[in-house]
Structure 1
Amino acid sequence: MSNETRNHKDNVFCLLYRNKKNLLSLYNAMNGTSYENEEELEVVTLEEAICMKIRNDAAFVVDSRLNLYEQQASVNPNMPLRDLYYVTEELKKIAPPGSLYTTAKVKIPAPHFVMFYNGVAKQPERQVYRLSELFSRKEEEPELELVVTVININPGCNRELLERCESLRGYMVFVKKARDKKAAGIKLENAVHQAVEECILEGILAEFFREHKKEIVEMGIFEFDQELHDKTLYEDGVAAGIERGIEQGIEQGIEQGIEQGIEQGIEQGIELVSRIFKAIQSGVTDNNVIAETCECTVDYVEMVRRKFSMEV
């Protein structure tokens, strides 16, 4: 089934935080709060599940805040636009259009947007995506803005947060186990199954993994297979985008390559290759100078030039 028509399947992160206790503990860890009453948390996650077009992983209201949490294993600078879709759908439920035609102010919860990143591409511990960064025209003071905080939860990143949240820490232990086994050559289904069994034996979210073992294995297979799919798209997209750029003019081609990469969710590496191409276009021929300018190794510059037949 193609990526366009395949139905989105609930993932392990969604399943884990479908539990109010886990979700409240994540909120507390994120905000330095100590809420204990799960009834104070109202889950409002969207139910649409087609290709992730109008769905978010965990949306909930607590303390007059509308929190939208999303887990991503790929770099996705389009999250602000996605979250704009999400929050619009939620606000329509909270304040139906008919309630807006009055003289009284309609009170709405304050939105907060977080993306938990656990992909294999190297990313900062924390970064911010802004809706205004997607505008085709730069605005000094954008009249519409949406800010997404991106938190890297891979091993070695944001240790304090993971220490404060047992469920998030356990989730990443499972992810790392499955990835390591897959990288060691174990068949994907077996890698996920073994990761689940090890977590149960080691007391890592044991009750959760024991109760949902079958679902988690099925979800895990889909998720890690999707990671491979995204990696392949990235590799194919970089080559196709830049090769098209060579044919149509380097500057135009790079822009098209980047746009194609953004559309397909395969951004990693395009920026660096773009800088190398621009350096060459400007007349720089010395690989050492290009490497220093682009902040990469000489070997990488030579590899790019060989791949795209741009040797001096």
Structure 2
Amino acid sequence: MNQTTPTQPVNRLYKSRIFAMLYSDRKDLLDLYNAVSGKHYEDPELLEINTLENAIYMSMHNDLSFLIDSRLSLYEHQSTYSPNLPLRYLFYISDLYSGMTKDENLYGTKCIQIPTPQFVIFYNGSQEQPDRKILRLSDAYCVKEEHPALELTAVMLNINRGHNEKLKEMCKSLKDYSEYTARVREYAQVKPVEEAVEQAISECIQEGIMAEFLKQNRAEAKQVSIYEYDEEKHMRQEREASWEEGKLEGKIELLRMQIQKKLVKGKSISEISEELEEEEEVIAEMIREMGEERATGKEEQ
């Protein structure tokens, strides 16, 4: 396998990730696998890479998947916590198993052997998470059962500073990656993201942190790091906006209920406005909307 990642444009349908770029190197990937699994393999050529790089999901491509010793490992990096990862893993593993068995007789009497899966998420988002967390597919089921017929469990490992330090000591590339992304995030708080990324790259090269990788892939690493930070920031802002919108909708609904109660008591618009400390125009508009909704409801009946 060619260990040098070719330069390619970054886009919203499919893009390299720093994590995936870094672990396109078989030696680094084997070191990561050994640290996570507690194994001690030494030959990187034992790895058989089968990452879904051009899956029909496109924006849902998986970061890393590989076979070693009849075990199929699927690794994902996440800067945003998502409880839907087990469901996504189900899609990934189904696609992989389908490809592996496409020439087998699935209707035969012989049991077709498939590699044992392992699902690992490497989390380094800004939301606080424990060192280790188990995510289950059954958590998404509408009806909870003690023994669900279909289960998939994924282990989420927090690789931020101060988390899973023992694991990172066993895998220098993971420790370096954690430090690099932490610096980008830290510097981006006080300067433009382009400058923050450039500073993080320069410092890390000087200090021997992901140095060879960053020197060989500097331009692309910078481009992708900027994109990743902007994407993370955008998703965080969207979550905050949704939360604020939800709070606003809750306040409006509460105000409507209070107005309705006071109307039943025969209060005037001016009295309601004074008691609820709202502008008369606001109260009048909400009463008008409530009246239209009631009229529409009667017409539909």
TM beyond 0.5: yes
Over residues 253-289 of structure 1, what are the superposed CA-to-partner deviations in whole Å (9 max), with x where a residue is unaligned?
xxxxxxxxxxxxxxxxxxxxxxxxxxxxxxxxxxxxx
Does the 8 A contact of 1:59 with 1:68 survive in 2? Answer: yes
Distance in structure 2 (CA, Å) of the matches to 1:30 and 1:126: 12
CA RMSD of aligned residues (A): 1.9
Given the superposition, is the C-alpha separation of residues 240 and 51 from structure 1 closer, same or farther in structure 2, using an over 3 Å criterion? Answer: farther
Name which of 148, 155, 158 aligns with 1:152: 158
The alignment status of 1:178 with 2:184, answered yes or no, reads: yes
Match of 1:35 in 2: 41
Name which of 1, 9, 14 aligns with 2:20: 14
Distance in structure 2 (CA, Å) of the matches to 1:230 and 1:51: 19
The alignment status of 1:79 with 2:85, answered yes or no, reads: yes
Distance in structure 1 (CA, Å) of the matches to 2:40 and 2:98: 30
Distance in structure 2 (CA, Å) of the matches to 1:87 and 1:50: 14
Distance in structure 2 (CA, Å) of the matches to 1:172 and 1:207: 16
1:241, distance to aligned residue in structure 2 (A): 2.7
The alignment status of 1:164 with 2:166, answered yes or no, reads: no
Over residues 57-91 of structure 1, what are the superposed CA-to-partner deviations in whole Å (9 max), with x where a residue is unaligned?
11001111100000000011000000000101110
Does the 8 A contact of 2:49 with 2:65 survive in 1? Answer: yes
Percent sequence identity is 42
Q: How many correspondences in the alignment?
A: 245
After TM superposition, the runs of 4+ consecutive aligned structure 1 residues lying more than 3 A away are: 49-54, 242-249
Report 1:208-247 matches (<5 A): 208-246=213-251
Name which of 95, 103, 106 aligns with 2:109: 103
1:50, distance to aligned residue in structure 2 (A): 7.5
Does the 8 A contact of 1:66 with 1:111 survive in 2? Answer: yes
Does the 8 A contact of 1:43 with 1:61 survive in 2? Answer: yes
Over residues 86-118 of structure 1, what are the superposed CA-to-partner deviations in whole Å (9 max), with x where a residue is unaligned?
101110111117531211110000001000100
Distance in structure 1 (CA, Å) of the matches to 2:52 and 2:248: 40
The alignment status of 1:117 with 2:123, answered yes or no, reads: yes
Distance in structure 1 (CA, Å) of the matches to 2:95 and 2:56: 15
Give ranges in structure 2 of 5+ residues lacking alignment: 1-10, 255-301
TM-score (norm 1): 0.75
Q: Which letter maps to 1:44?
A: N
Does the 8 A contact of 2:49 with 2:67 survive in 1? Answer: yes
Q: Which letter maps to 2:246?
A: G
Does the 8 A contact of 1:6 with 1:50 survive in 2? Answer: no
